[in-house]
Amino acid sequence: MEERHISPESEITLGPLDVDATAAWWSDRRLIGYFLYVGILSLACCGPLVELTRYALKEELHSHILLIPLISIYLAALKLDSLPRDRRGSVAGAVGGTLILTLAAASLFLGPVLAGAAAWSHNDAMTQVAACYALLLVAGGFAFLGVSWMRLLAFPFAFLMFIVPLPDIAVGYFEDLLMRASAWLAHVLFQWTGTPVFRNEQVMELPGMTLEVARNCSGIRSSLVLLITSLIASYLFLSSSWHRALLLAMVIPLGIVRNAIRVLVIGLLCVRHGPQMIDSWIHHRGGPLFFAVSLAPLFLAAAWFRRRETRAARRD
């Protein structure tokens, strides 16, 4: 049997999964400093963060908040091997950190003033707390990790803003938009199916019953989850800015179509099988089913965009 000798040079490069190289990241002083900063900041904000957690568990619209930090950590970990070693301080990093700190202070002190004390609700208070905490996390990133790292980790850090509950004024606006658009499209679909219908704003008169598209039927939660899903998919699988923008642009139309189809199905069931179908499972617990249906065209579009980018890369 032939004896083989391995030269020292062949042992140097072990690829991106080199244990020693990976361990070097966790022994990095700036990274350790940032972890300590996050720990101290979280302890200082312990009370408000516990209240935010309780609020997210109680409010269905904001239940996604608890998963956002875990997703951000995962997305940041995917960039671990591509982060540069050189992280010298820069004017851009100092300016960026200062601006984020200014925004955090503004969110903490000016929020109630701009909104008006009478209109300041518990939801808005949670919005204020979460926004300040998220901005302080980003400011610490500029201070400890440097602008070169923050440039590559821009999306994971920006994604942290989804821990911020939508303020009441934004919830009201989007609920009104989705509610009115869904009612209009549902009316068109009823006419397309040949069902006699008379629409007055969100109220539709159908044979034997009256159907109203209320605010709690706007589908705002499903649309928000669809937006988060599309952002993650575009970041992980697409490289073209146009493709990413087109995928995000599909979210609101898909939400409106999904909601209108749900209204159509419930209305047709009530017309054909009786008004008692308004209390059927498809009305009260059918949301996940229609949400899954709305995911299909989103993933199909993402797959098509991905295929186009792959073909373009092969031609180049």
- Residues 157 and 81 reside in one and the same domain: yes
- Whether residue 17 is predicted with pLDDT greater than 50 in this model: the reply is no
| pLDDT (0 to 100) of residue 15 | 42
Can you give the pLDDT at residue 247?
Answer: 92
For residue 149, the model assigns a pLDDT of 86
For residue 125, the number of C-alpha atoms closer than 13 Å in the C-beta half-sphere is: 11
Q: Cβ of 163: how many Cβ atoms within 10 Å? A: 23
Question: Is residue 10 one of the residues assigned to a domain?
Answer: no
Residue 12 resides in a domain: no
- For residues 91 and 117, membership in a common domain is answered with yes
pLDDT value, residue 1: 43
Same domain, 101 and 220: no
Domain boundary among 165, 189, 204: 165
Tell me which residue of 140, 134, 98, 132 sits closest to 112, measured CA to CA.
132
The percentage of the chain sitting over the pLDDT mark of 90, rounded to a whole number, equals: 25
Cα separation, 21 vs 6, in Å, equals 21
Q: Which two tokens stand for residue 19?
A: 């244990």
Lowest mean pLDDT among 23-37, 62-76, 99-113: 99-113
Is pLDDT of 176 > 60?
yes
The residue with greater pLDDT, 93 or 100, is: 100
The model's pLDDT over 61-93, given as tens digits with 9 standing for 90+, comes to 899 999 999 999 999 988 887 877 665 555 555
What's the pLDDT band for 96 if we cut at 50, 70, 90?
Answer: low
Q: Which domain holds residue 188?
A: 170-315
- Tens of pLDDT along 201-236? 888 888 888 888 877 777 888 889 999 999 999 999
Domain boundary among 115, 133, 165: 165
Task: Note whether 111 and 193 are same-domain residues.
Answer: no
Q: From CA 308, how far away is CA 163, in angstroms rounded?
A: 33
- The mean pLDDT of 272-288, rounded to a whole number, is 73
Is residue 229 in some structural domain? yes
Q: How confident is the model at residue 185 (pLDDT cuts 50, 70, 90)?
A: very high
Answer whether residue 161 is part of any domain.
yes
Task: Among 121, 140, 165, give the residue marking a domain's end.
Answer: 165
Judge if 144 and 272 occupy the same domain: no
pLDDT range class, residue 292, cuts 50, 70, 90 = confident
Total domain count, the chain: 2
Query: Is the per-residue pLDDT at 44 higher than 60?
Result: yes
Give the tens place of pLDDT for each residue, 49-58: 999 999 999 9
Same domain? For 134 and 180 the reply is no
Position 3 in a domain: no
Look at residue 90 and tell me if it is in a domain: yes
Flag whether 13 is in a domain.
no
Does the pLDDT value for residue 183 go beyond 60? yes
Angle at CA 259, nearest 5°, toward 253 and 263? Answer: 140
On whether both 117 and 224 belong to a single domain, the answer is no
What would the DSSP string read from start to end of 183-206? HHHHHHHHHHTT---EEETTEEEE
User: What element of type H or E holds 210?
Assistant: strand 209-212
- Write down the number of H helices and E strands in the chain: 15, 3
- 220 with 102, same domain: the answer is no
Q: What is the pLDDT of residue 61?
A: 87
DSSP classification of residue 209? E
Same-domain pairing of 178 and 65: no
**Are residues 189 and 291 both part of a single domain?**
yes
Same domain for 236 and 294, yes or no, is yes
Is pLDDT of 12 > 90? no
Name the pLDDT band for 5 (thresholds 50, 70, 90): very low
Residue 26's pLDDT is 58
The reported pLDDT for the residue numbered 312 is 82
In a domain, residue 7? The reply is no
158 and 196 assigned to the same domain: no
